[in-house]
Structure 1
Amino acid sequence: MPYPFPMWTQHQLTLPPQRRGFHLITREVVAAVPELAGVQVGLLHVWIQHTSASLTVNENASPDVRRDFERYFNHAVPDGWREFEHTLEGPDDMAAHIKASVLGPSLLLPVSGGRLALGRWQGIFLCEHRDHASARRLVLTLQGEEKQAGK
């Protein structure tokens, strides 16, 4: 029996500018990688090419969760803290860099049977930490074994 052929593909996804907050982007990510449906088992790596926004996975059902995340991070890392030295790009810039470092620039997600193997209440979030952000670019790299015909 031959082994499944490993495949790799990469796409870039540009998300339109968003207001500050936590934005559900699962559908956009899945739509940007059409090869996902043909992968039996694999991994999707999602990377954001910015230092003032980040990515996370969390509850996708209640918008309260997104608002509470925003409130928590704004309390923990306030804009315009007087001890910040990096202030040339505005009072929200250094706080945005710190929040992005805490949450992180990437996700590694399992793929099973042509779908992301997220839990029932999990979704992918763009965490926008700036008041006036630009469009955000993601690099989506899929690797895995393709589904075999008839399975």
Structure 2
Amino acid sequence: MRQELHSLQVTTRGKGLVPIDRPVLDWVGQSGIETGLLTLWCRHTSASLVVQENADPTVRTDIERYFETLVPEQPGRYIHDDEGPDDMPAHLRAMLTNTQLSIPVADGRPVLGMWQGLYLFEHRARPHRREIVLHLIGD
């Protein structure tokens, strides 16, 4: 059994779903591990990770709009606003999604469905540089 560890840097443009499939698939493929388990960990409290449809971009638009309605940015609504009106809503959105994903690996690739993509979900309004830690264990 082998283990591999990698840090993936993702630059965002502000709020939204950022595809991370390609760098994740490339890294897993280069690892030489054929069968195992991949864990992705987002090292932030105002961004998250999701598996979502990758075929129709309107799905991402609808998800982003839904979260704007579910956790609105309204001045005076939240006590915590140290970094602006998107600060506390970003923490809540991250809490409602995932900061960690576990995905089986078979034949040297993460086992994703035909229409499934991996995304970093940025919850802050301004651009950020995010770190995702990838851990792969297997043979």
TM-score in terms of structure 2 length: 0.94
How far apart in 2 are the matches of 1:31 and 1:136? Answer: 19
Match in the other structure for 1:67: 61
Q: Any idea what SS the aligned residue of 2:85 has? A: coil
Q: How far apart in 1 are the matches of 2:105 and 2:65?
A: 32
Residue 16 (structure 1) aligned with residue 11 (structure 2): yes
Residue 88 of structure 2 is aligned to residue 97 of structure 1: no
Residues in 2 aligned to 1:19 and 1:83: alpha-carbon distance in whole angstroms: 22
Equivalent residue letter for 2:88: M
The CA deviation at 1:57 is 0.2
1:19 Cα deviation after fit: 2.4
Structure 1 distance, partners of 2:87, 2:21, is 26
Residue ranges of structure 2 left out of the alignment (5+ in a row): none
Q: Quick check: which has more Rg, 1 or 2?
A: 1
1:42 aligns with 2:47: no
Q: Distance in 2 between matches of 1:88 and 1:80?
A: 14
Measured in 1, the distance between the counterparts of 2:131 and 2:112 equals 22
State the TM-score, normalized to the length of structure 1: 0.87
Q: For residues 86 and 52 of structure 2, what CA distance do their matches in structure 1 show?
A: 24
How far apart in 2 are the matches of 1:123 and 1:55?
11
Q: Is the 8 Å Cα contact of residues 13 and 32 (structure 1) preserved in structure 2?
A: no
Q: CA deviation at 1:81?
A: 5.2
Conservation of the 8 A alpha-carbon contact between 1:23 and 1:66: no
- Counterpart-to-counterpart distance in 2, 1:120 and 1:99: 26
Point out where structure 1 has 5 or more consecutive residues left out of the alignment: 1-5, 146-151
Corresponding residue of 1:106 = 100
1:134 aligns with 2:90: no
Structure 1 distance, partners of 2:122, 2:38, is 21
The answer to whether the 8 Å contact 2:51/2:116 transfers is: yes
Match of 1:26 among 1, 21, 27: 21
User: Once superposed, which parts of structure 1, at least 4 consecutive aligned residues long, lie more than 4 Å away?
Assistant: none
| Structure 2 match to 1:54 | 48
Per-residue deviation, residues 91-146 of structure 1 (Å, max 9, x unmatched): 0010000000110211001100111110000010110111113200010000011x
Cα 1:106–1:115 shift into 2, 3 Å: same
Deviation at 1:88, TM superposition (A): 1.3
Of stretches 74-83 and 128-137 in structure 1, the one that deviates more from structure 2 is: 74-83
Q: Number of aligned residue pairs: give it.
A: 138
